[in-house]
Amino acid sequence: MYRITLDCHGVPVAAGAEAARDIMEAFRLHYPHENNVVCTFEGSTLRLVAENDYDPEGLNLMDEFSDNISACIAEPFDGDIELVSVETLD
């Protein structure tokens, strides 16, 4: 099992808190393979933390996060998604 942490920087402040809630809800409803999903917004950064048993490099989660950011934030911005960490859980 892996715990993956991703950050998206440069998120418009006006959209961030609502996007975090919407992204958590989208993962709950549409991504049953991702567990213990938490999305938060602080400053101009969306942080996503999720656990799964198949994505040791976090690439699939990064793709899903990107898709949801695009769906939840209408205002264009130049945010980059950064892989913060991948922890192996016992």
pLDDT at 47 over 90: yes
**Rounded Cα–Cα distance for residues 12 and 14 (Å):** 6
Q: How many domains does the chain have?
A: 1
Containing H/E element for 52?
Answer: strand 45-52
Average confidence (pLDDT) over 57-72: 97
Residue 12 neighbours by CB distance under 10 Å: 14
CATH of the domain at 23: 3.30.70.100
pTM of the model: 0.95
pLDDT at 32 over 90: yes
* Percent of the residues in the chain that have a pLDDT greater than 90, as a whole number: 93
Residues near 43 by beta carbon (within 8 Å), at least 6 away in sequence: none
Mean pLDDT of the chain: 96
Domain range for 26 = 2-88
- Look-up of token digits 């961030």: 16
Inter-residue contact 11 to 81 (CB < 8 Å): no
* Percent of the residues in the chain that have a pLDDT greater than 70, as a whole number: 100
Backbone dihedral angles phi then psi of residue 53, each to the nearest 5 degrees: -115, 20
